[in-house]
Amino acid sequence: MNAPLPAEVLKQHLIDPEICIRCNTCEETCPIKAITHDSNNYVVDPDICNGCMACVPPCPTGAIDNWRLMVRAEAYGVQEQLGWEELPGEKALPETAAALPADDVPAATDLAAPAPFSAPGATVPPWSAAHPYVNLYTHKTPMTATVVGNYRVTGADTESDIHHIVLDFGELPFPVLEGQSIGILPPGLDAQGRPHHARQYSLASPRDGERAGYNNLSLTVKRVTEDHAGAAAHGVCSNYLCDLAKNDKVQVIGPFGHTFLMPNHPRANLIMICTGTGSAPMRAMTERYRRRIDTGENGRLLLFFGARTERELPYFGPLMKLPRDFIDINLALSRETGQPKRYVQDLIRERAASVRELLADRNTCIYVCGLKGMEVGVLDALRDVTVQGGQDWSILHDALRREGRLHFETY
Ligand code: A2P
């Protein structure tokens, strides 16, 4: 057993600004609002953090998992951390603070029991997921990729300018899994004159490449021209990416993510629920299944895909060409002329029997990716179909999270 820390000593929780990709997962996950951010950094408030560890497993890079033994009165404050470009080194504790022998330094996991299921989804991957590599390339050691394709995957006459961008890594290794993401370092400086932080994008291609056997991958990028409130805004990285030409070079870091991964065992079923560019990981997983369509290894694929109209639904053409006995496609269109407004959660309810049947199979994993706003709606719909089937949703929900079978990636 580890000895308890003396009261005057704090095991301070810190985020490494050189590894953090500012994805906001930690801030969203923290059950007591101890994490905050500005345009430079994500930081942990030492006066609030209780070391519950809820934020640690969901962090896609591991930047969150840094700890320093500090004299409590000298803990790094929020303002100080916001200004950091890198983590400070370890400081020796003064003798008076009853420094602990090295063997007695508590592991991070001893600080407090993890808050059970503070997040709506799992913080562990499915049991059979392949081993992911993370952080192979960092802000300090980015990889240069070459653009080998960039084309629009939404109707040219629509507001949604979504691009499919293919990056090639040449001879250098960049091993990825479906569900993982990478970071793109846009060129230039931010308003404070600092290099831009990396922006995170989910892979749209499977582990063996956008083109099987090639050392490349693809992304699904929406050109950002307005913010969430609809005000005009220029997305630095999305505009940079959407305007790239063939043979342009791009600075890439990653890969990231160790939980939003697909099961790797035969006959696993996938329920995929997405909106807009949240289709990227679903495309990656679907393509993985499509490439082994004749092997007999595949389970069932059930897709709920939300977009304003068919023409604004990325990859509409290729998606509709997939065989119906391979993937069960349900499109929720919210602004199609002459049709009632529908969201993915409406279709989940309409397909309750199929959803229940798959939920009852422990080989089923559920993936939700896209607008943050759909998280609650999707959870409510899953609860409703479960309850209608005479089951207790809270028991099933806990099991799905514990077994790494329910995953969210929303923004
Ligand atoms: P809406 O027409 O109400 O905006 P976007 O094109 O903005 O990325 O959105 C993709 C789709 O997700 C649109 O059909 C949009 O509908 C829909 N959507 C918006 N809010 C929610 C929500 N809370 N739950 C589910 N779908 C949503």
Q: 344: Cβ below 6 Å to ligand 1?
A: yes
Beta-carbon contacts of residue 187 (< 8 Å; ≥ 6 apart): 196, 240, 251
Q: What is the mean pLDDT of residues 295-311?
A: 97
- The domain ranges of the chain are 9-85, 143-256, 269-410
Q: Does position 326 have pLDDT exceeding 50, yes or no?
A: yes
Query: Can you list the positions of beta strands (E) in 120-268?
Result: 143-152, 162-168, 181-185, 199-202, 216-222, 249-256
Q: pLDDT tens across 202-231, in order?
A: 999 999 999 998 999 999 999 999 988 889
For residue 312, the ligand 1 atom closest to its alpha carbon is 6
Query: What is the model's pTM?
Result: 0.90
- What is the model's pLDDT at position 138? 93
Q: 121: Cβ below 6 Å to ligand 1?
A: no
Q: What is the mean pLDDT of residues 304-322?
A: 97
∠ Cα 315 316 319 (to 5°) = 80
Q: Name the band, by pLDDT with cuts 50, 70 and 90, for residue 102.
A: very low
Structure tokens at 367: 């993936």
Q: 307: Cβ below 6 Å to ligand 1?
A: yes
Spatial separation of the C-alpha atoms in residues 222 and 317, rounded to whole Å = 18
The architecture CATH gives domain 143-256: Beta Barrel (2.40)
Q: Does position 112 have pLDDT exceeding 60, yes or no?
A: no
Residue 145 pairs in a beta bridge with 250
Helix axis angle, 374-388 to 393-402, nearest 10°: 120
- What is the model's pLDDT at position 243? 98
- What is the model's pLDDT at position 109? 42
CA separation (Å) from 61 to 55, 236, 380? Answer: 12, 22, 30
Q: pLDDT tens across 380-409, in order?
A: 999 999 999 999 999 999 999 999 999 999
For residue 373, the ligand 1 atom closest to its alpha carbon is 23
Q: pLDDT tens across 262-293, in order?
A: 999 999 999 999 999 999 999 999 999 999 99
- What is the model's pLDDT at position 3? 63
Q: Does position 357 have pLDDT exceeding 90, yes or no?
A: yes
Q: Is 313 flagged in the annotation as binding?
A: no
Helix axis angle, 352-359 to 374-388, nearest 10°: 80
Beta-carbon contacts of residue 357 (< 8 Å; ≥ 6 apart): none
Residue 302 pairs in a beta bridge with 271, 328
Q: What is the mean pLDDT of residues 319-323?
A: 97
- What is the model's pLDDT at position 106? 43
Q: What is the mean pLDDT of residues 138-147?
A: 95
Q: Is 370 flagged in the annotation as binding?
A: yes
Half-sphere exposure of 225 (CA within 13 A, CB side): 6
Contacts 24+ apart (CB under 8 A), 193-201: 194/40, 196/236, 196/237, 197/21, 197/22, 198/21, 198/22, 198/139, 198/253, 199/236, 199/237, 199/238, 200/21, 200/23, 200/60, 200/256, 201/241, 201/280
Q: Does position 104 have pLDDT exceeding 60, yes or no?
A: no
Residue (of 304, 313, 272) closest to 153 by Cα position: 313
Mean predicted lDDT score pLDDT of the chain? 92
Examine the residue annotation and report whether 201 is marked as an active-site residue of this protein.
yes
Q: Does position 81 have pLDDT exceeding 80, yes or no?
A: yes
Q: 366: Cβ below 6 Å to ligand 1?
A: no
Q: pLDDT tens across 144-181, in order?
A: 999 999 999 999 999 999 999 999 999 999 999 999 99
Spatial separation of the C-alpha atoms in residues 198 and 60, rounded to whole Å = 13
Q: What is the mean pLDDT of residues 307-320?
A: 97
The torsion angle over the Cα atoms of residues 267, 287, 315 and 330, rounded to 10 degrees, is: 0
- What is the model's pLDDT at position 278? 98
Phi and psi at 144, nearest 5°, equal: -95, 120
For ligand 1, pick from 223, 273, 275 the residue to mutate: most ligand atoms within 8 Å of CB.
275
CATH number of this structure's domain 9-85, picked from the four choices 3.30.70.20, 3.40.50.970, 3.30.70.100, 3.30.1330.10: 3.30.70.20
The radius of gyration of the chain from alpha carbons, rounded to an integer in Å, stands at: 22
- What is the model's pLDDT at position 101? 45
Q: What is the mean pLDDT of residues 51-75?
A: 91
Name the residue with tokens 């791009």: 250
Phi and psi at 341, nearest 5°, equal: -65, 130
Residue (of 254, 294, 288) closest to 272 by Cα position: 288
- What is the model's pLDDT at position 2? 57
Q: Does position 57 have pLDDT exceeding 60, yes or no?
A: yes
- What is the model's pLDDT at position 117? 64
Query: Residue 287 burial by CB count (10 A; 0-12/13-18/19+): exposed, middle or buried?
Result: buried
Q: Name the band, by pLDDT with cuts 50, 70 and 90, for residue 374.
A: very high
What percent of the chain is modeled with pLDDT above 90? Answer: 83
Q: What is the CATH number of domain 269-410?
A: 3.40.50.80
